[in-house]
Amino acid sequence: MYPTDHMRDMPAGASGQRPNILFVMADDHAANAIGAYGAHLSPVAPTDNIDRIAREGARLDNCFCTNAICTPSRASILTGEYGHRNGVRTLHDEIDPDREHLAHWLGDAGYDTAIVGKWHLHTDPAGFDHYEVLPGQGRYEDPTLREKGSETPTTREGYSTDVITDRALDWLGDRPGEDPFFLACHFKAPHEPWAYADRYEDLFEGVRIPEPSTLFEDKSHRSGATRERGSTLSPRNPIRNMVDQVGSEDWPTGAIDTSGTDDEERTRAAYQKHLADYLRTVAAIDDNVGRLLDYLDEAGIAEDTLVVYTSDQGMFLGEHDHIDKRWMYEEPLRMPLLARYPREIAPDSFVDGLLANVDFAPTLLDYAGVDVPDAVQGRSFRGHLSGDPPDDWREAVYYRYWMHRAHHDVPAHYGIRTRRYKLVFFYGLPLDAA
């Protein structure tokens, strides 16, 4: 059943109110690069504003994407369906512009809806009252945005994360009515090419960024499908590795010298440069999350607004000598997820239930008091957030990556992850002897 107009006046849930929804999504933001997750990077790269969402709400530790690349994960978030059902399996698949998704359903229920920032589902965003989206991946500096109702894109001066937040705040400030809002604020950062804002030029001056314990791990025990595949931090993979990337003239913030013969030293130098630039782009996200939270406070609507912070998938930052994402390893598989809604979520909560990106749409619909359409495959985790998870919750999450070897030398694979185990089947490549 689809929501109808009469739901506009219906109260939702125990709080008796339908919350505003501020859905903030970064691009390739690893949980290891968020202070609230307490990983090895947190001492040198705090994220105080992002962490505030967890401090005043919940940190969710086991939320996983169903395909660790941008376009498919975004489609699953909007539709609540896995890629084999919504048709978005690869970076090249577009979302069917005629199909309904979360924005339509919330809009039909009386929400004011907008998306600002990265879209990356190829067709123009449907179902939103307003959109201002980057074409494709967009640019870090002076980004161009395609705006609903405008024939030509507009170039906005400034740094993309600041500009996206400016535009999101403008839309919030200009909203016409008393209806609740659903605002999807999607940053480009910290996706490559990691061009940071000028104000962070000196952020890691004199700082040695801690390395992950698995940077130089022995991979001899791995299967043939994984042992020598995938883009690496070290020069191990000649097709794509970070030593070559940061030594290239194309590196946006200036190449470093990675010449020399000692691969360990070259790898360590590449790690420092890669992480410094990545974390500088994260610093600007943190600033801007602070601006969004401040706005909610100043507008007096923080209590009435569900704030979600997540990323379309995680990211390797040198763990297992990998960079990039795509694999069903923990670092790309895990989506950071923080949520604040003071009326229902206790401060400093932790959720460890097995969640997936297909659960986002039904969860937000649940908060909005909207019946979840039958086609949605995920389930609402609102109960997890309020400390009362359902007894019959799933015991495994499913994953599938379809793009074998496409530009990062990763085999296609699918698998399941339970609390303790992971079973992965790699296919699509002639496998070396195991």
The residues of the shown chain that bind Ca ion, judged by CB under 5 A, are: 27-28, 70, 312
Q: How far apart are CA 269 and CA 249, in angstroms?
A: 16
Distance of closest approach, residue 141 Cβ to Ca ion, in angstroms: 20
Nearer Cβ to Ca ion (204/329): 329
- Write the CA distances from 419 to 14, 333, 356, 381, 396, integer angstroms: 30, 14, 13, 17, 7
3-state class (DSSP) for residue 5: helix
Distance of closest approach, residue 348 Cβ to Ca ion, in angstroms: 28
Nearer Cβ to Ca ion (27/108): 27
Q: Is the dihedral of CA 21, 24, 25, 31 positive or negative?
A: negative
Residue nearest to Ca ion (CB): 70
Nearer Cβ to Ca ion (240/394): 240
Distance of closest approach, residue 264 Cβ to Ca ion, in angstroms: 30
Nearer Cβ to Ca ion (33/370): 33
Distance of closest approach, residue 186 Cβ to Ca ion, in angstroms: 10
Distance of closest approach, residue 318 Cβ to Ca ion, in angstroms: 18
Nearer Cβ to Ca ion (89/384): 89
Sheet containing 58-60, strands listed edge to edge, beginning at the edge strand earlier in sequence: 154-155, 144-147, 130-133, 112-117, 181-186, 20-26, 305-311, 337-340, 58-60, 349-351
3-state class (DSSP) for residue 423: strand
Which is nearest to 158 in space by CA: 135, 139, 142? Answer: 142
Nearer Cβ to Ca ion (27/359): 27
Distance of closest approach, residue 312 Cβ to Ca ion, in angstroms: 4
Strands 355-356 and 63-64 turn out to be parallel
Nearer Cβ to Ca ion (27/211): 27
Distance of closest approach, residue 119 Cβ to Ca ion, in angstroms: 12
The answer, yes or no, to whether the previous bond of 19 is cis (omega within 30 of 0) is no
- Dig out the tokens for 132 from the structure: 């201002």
Q: How far apart are CA 175 and CA 305, in angstroms?
A: 15
